[in-house]
Each structure stands twice: as structure tokens, then as C-alpha cells.
Amino acid sequence: MVARHYRELVCWQLSNELKRRVYAFIAKPPASKDFEFCKQIRGSARGAPRTISEGFGRFRPPEFARYLEFARASLIETQNHLDDALDADYITTDLHHDLFKLANRAIGATTRLQQYLRTCKEPPRKAGERRTPGGNPEPRTENAQPRTRNREPRTKNREPRTKNPEPGTRNLEPRTKNPEPGTENER
């Protein structure tokens, strides 16, 4: 089955459910009173579904797989915050177990999708298509004018280089033109 929208992906569905359940427990005391904790777990819980959806929008399997790496990291970070919540008595052991299990399911689904994407081949490029540094296809454009060569020969700088007496200081010697190449500057 081909997913036509990121919401159809099991890894996104599980990550989003984890995010919603995290939101529910940090909305109530005692967790709601720890602003720093709430900010951190909210950020990591949001990170996974957000990154999965962004990777889905990249349309290229290798790029999508890379985004799934970041999503897995966010899920693992959320598990760490769940451990912190249990240690601080913000959640019960049963709730911790349920949320940790949900996070493990999301990590597993993300990992399996990532493994699948790594076996996929890149779709063939269309004629004249090239890649931008980000990997997105970009059509080739024709230049308005044909390329021309510079007909003038290259010239060399005939003035010798002078060295600064110490690093970080300016050379105060005046520049003089040499009458012939290879002769020394005279003061």
C-alpha cells in the first residue's frame, strides 16, 4: 500500500498519539508546575510527528530516511523525559509503562519504515533535470546568451610580495615598481 499523506503512516500515527498523551499529563499538576520539564518533553514529543511529516514531503527515499533518524531520536528523548517524570512522581508507574510502550511501538514503526526506504532506489531523473544542494529536482534553464571566452591573455602581477615584519602589524614600506622583473625593491 502506498501512503498518499503522512497521516496514513503508522509511525506518524503512533508518534502523534504519544504527543497527545504527553500533552494530557503535562496539563495537570504536579507536572504542569514544572515549566522547564513541560517545555522539554513537549518539544521532544512534538518533534517526532513533525519530522516524519516533513520527511514525507521530501519525496526522495534517502532524504525521508534521514528525517526518520531525527524522528527516532526525538522519540528516544521523549522516553528519557518519561523516565524523569516517573522519578519526579509526575506520573504513575502504570502511565509510565503505557507511554513508554507507545513510544517503543512508534520507534519500531519508524525504524521499519527507515529500513524499507534504504532499500528503495531513487526514481530516475528526467532529461535535463539536476539536483539542488538540498537534493530537490530543479529544471535546467537555458542561458539567454551563449558562453563566450575572454580573448585577452592573463597577466601576472609583476610587483614582488613584501612580508609583514610581525604578524598582526601592517607593512609600512611604500610599494615601488620594478623596472625589470626579478629585481629587488630599492628604498
User: What's the structural domain count of the chain?
Assistant: 1
pLDDT at res. 70? 97
Residue that the C-alpha cell 530537490 belongs to = 136
Looking at residue 48, what is its pLDDT? 97
Residue 42 included in any domain = yes
For the stretch 149-178, pLDDT in tens is 777 777 777 776 666 656 666 666 666 666
Question: Looking at the domain assignment, is residue 132 inside a domain?
Answer: no
Q: Does 136 fall in a domain? A: no
pLDDT, tens only, 24-47: 999 999 999 999 999 999 999 999
Q: Which long-range contacts (CB under 8 A, 24 or more apart) does 47-50 make?
A: 47/71, 47/73, 47/74, 47/77, 47/78, 48/15, 48/18, 48/19, 48/72, 48/74, 48/75, 48/78, 48/106, 48/110, 49/12, 49/15, 49/16, 49/19
Whether residue 93 lies inside any domain: the answer is yes
| pTM (predicted TM-score) | 0.66
Per-residue b/e over 75-86, b at no fewer than 16 CB within 10 Å? bebbbebbeebb
Query: For residue 151, what pLDDT is reported?
Result: 76
Which residues, given as ranges, of the chain have pLDDT below 70? Answer: 124-147, 160-187
Beta bridge partners of 138: 130
What CATH number is associated with residue 55? 1.20.1440.60
Q: Is residue 130 part of a domain?
A: no
In a domain, 137, yes or no: no
Q: Is residue 108 part of a domain?
A: yes
In a domain, 60, yes or no: yes
Domain region containing 45: 6-119
